[in-house]
Amino acid sequence: MRVVVDTNVWLLAVLAPDGFCAPLLDRLREDDFQIVACPAMLRELTVVLHRPRIAQKYRLTPSTIARVVVLLLSRAESMPDPPILAVSRDPRDDVFVAAAVASKADYLVTRDDDLKRDSGVQVYLSRFGVQVQSVREFLKTLDSAL
């Protein structure tokens, strides 16, 4: 099962280790699914985690951030940054759509309502066999697949 995970999911998994996104990191550690990531997605996550306001508020040390990034890098199938097409309402979301299509992912997992509820994005991705799921939906999908 190939999956593109939106940066906002990884961010929340790190910032709220007891929250609803955190089990996704555990399932990744257990090799329950294969993530696909491009440099743009990993850069975004790294930049956001290093923002002083976030690092201080959540007491993120450079080693904590490095552990998460190393985990993602070690488990991810790396791909080059994909060509971006304007598909979603928010241009910042298009990298995830493009990565899901270019990598032939099965799922795009996100918390972003623009991606989950935009029928244009849904139709576009469905042409390439990609389903958009929330974190909870994807965890249920994983449970039913095992």
- Domain boundaries, position 72: 2-145
Radius of gyration of the chain (CA): 15
Strand-pair category, 107-109 with 131-133: parallel
CA 30, 2, 102, 11 dihedral sign is negative
Q: Which two tokens stand for residue 37?
A: 């990531």
Q: In DSSP terms, which residues pair with 18 in a beta bridge?
A: none
What tens digit of pLDDT does each residue of 88-118 get? 888 888 999 999 999 999 999 999 988 888 8
What's the structural domain count of the chain? 1
Question: Collapsing DSSP states into helix, strand and coil, what is residue 78?
Answer: strand
Give the domain CATH number at 11: 3.40.50.1010
Identify any residues that bridge with 109 across adjacent strands, giving them in sequence order. 5, 133
pLDDT digits (tens, 9 = 90+) for 10-47: 999 999 999 999 999 999 999 999 999 999 999 999 99
Cβ partners under 8 Å of residue 80, min gap 6: 38, 39
